[in-house]
Structure 1
Amino acid sequence: MYDFLSYRPVVADDARMLLDWRTAPHITQYMLTDVPYDIVRQTAWIERCNARDDYQHAIIRIEGRDVGYASITVTDRHSQIGEIGVYIGDPEAPKELTIYNFVGTLNHAFFTMGLHKLVNHIVDWNSRTVRLQQFNGYTHVGVLKDHARKGDIRHDLHIFEQSAVNWAEFRRKFNDNRNWWGEETVYKG
């Protein structure tokens, strides 16, 4: 990973920080769902997530400072398919973080968790992330028209996919093979 970027496990004490980020206007505008501001509920959610074997999540850090959140959900255990979710909660975080945080997350999903493929769904109003998906090696495979509803408005939902074999080749441009915990990952094909 880039020296300035690291990850740490999510703990129950992160509930307020995550909830502050998740309910901030610069984050909620890109989310399909809104969550109530409820610390008890958020703490319980973290504890449930930490107990799951089909979900992993981490706090993204810049130079030791918490700035964002990343998650990997196994959506099809048998076929080894997953989906990632990422947001940068700290509006002061460097813009390049949105590009490079995917390296550790994709290494973690494919080469630590052993997923075969990631399939991400991005709402059309999040045009920056739509562009970043392709920058990070994803293939745009389609658009679900009028699929997502935010408030009273329906939006298109872009579908992107990336396989472990494609990421093993594509990640060479970043020259970083580490997962969330800083461990070197190897593609076992």
Structure 2
Amino acid sequence: MTSGDLARVLQWRNHPEVRRFMYTSHVITPKEHASWFERNSGAPGVWLLIYEVAGVPMGFVNISSTRCPQVADWGFYLAPDSEPGTGHALGMATLSYAFEELGLHKLCGQALGFNERSIRFHERLGFIREGVLREQHYDGEHYQDVVCFGLLAAEWKTRNRGIRA
């Protein structure tokens, strides 16, 4: 991701169908977005990525290994007008990048408990449900559970070998 992607990513992030599944669900201002990008774009252990299909930007991925260099968290969202199947392709490309290029040992994800689509998405990619943080997030009206996922590099490699065979 470069500064030239800021407007597009902000538009995606502020779309109601993206925002409602985020920890921070208010409309992000351009100033707030630029500040986030400035803090994170050069930070060690943080990768801000644009996922493209045939040269067209279709999604955003954030990988962050700020606690331990070999273990990272990820977050992602798609362009609201992306075609069906784009999410799975984004996930597979990101996992390949995380384990094969970055050499991570583990990638962690989280989904708000009501976000069944994200929960199924993680499980289809091979993530293991590691636990539920009960009523961990307050959205301004209700407490929400947070479902935690993890995928080890060894699990990814084993699963990927099966796909290639």
Return the TM-score normalized by structure 2.
0.90
Q: CA deviation at 1:35?
A: 5.1
CA offsets, 1:113-167, max 9 Å, x none? Answer: 2211112111112101101111101111111111111121111111111101111
Identify which of structures 1 and 2 has the higher relative contact order when contacts are C-alpha pairs closer than 8 Å and 6+ apart.
1
In 2, Cα distance between equivalents of 1:123 and 1:116: 24
Which contiguous aligned blocks of 4+ residues in structure 1 show a shift greater than 6 angstroms?
Answer: none
Larger helix share, 1 or 2: 2
Q: Is the 8 A contact 1:103 1:174 kept in 2?
A: no
Which of residues 3, 6, 14 in structure 2 aligns to 1:12? Answer: 3
Return the TM-score normalized by structure 1.
0.80
In 1, Cα distance between equivalents of 2:88 and 2:52: 14
Correspondences of 1:78-157 after superposition (within 5 Å) = 80-89=70-79, 91-157=80-146
SS at match of 1:13: helix
Quote the RMSD (CA, aligned, Å): 1.7
Tell me if 1:26 matches 2:17: yes
Q: Is the 8 A contact 1:81 1:116 kept in 2?
A: yes
In 1, Cα distance between equivalents of 2:163 and 2:16: 31
In 2, Cα distance between equivalents of 1:139 and 1:133: 8
**Runs (5+) with no aligned partner, structure 1:** 1-9, 176-189
Amino acid of the residue matched to residue 165 of structure 1? A
In 2, Cα distance between equivalents of 1:96 and 1:54: 29
SS at match of 1:69: strand
Which of residues 33, 43, 49 in structure 2 aligns to 1:42? Answer: 33
SS at match of 2:126: coil
Give the length in aligned residue pairs. Answer: 164
Q: Is the 8 A contact 1:117 1:163 kept in 2?
A: yes
CA offsets, 1:59-87, max 9 Å, x none? Answer: 11122211210111104225x21111110
In 1, Cα distance between equivalents of 2:163 and 2:24: 32
In 2, Cα distance between equivalents of 1:160 and 1:37: 26
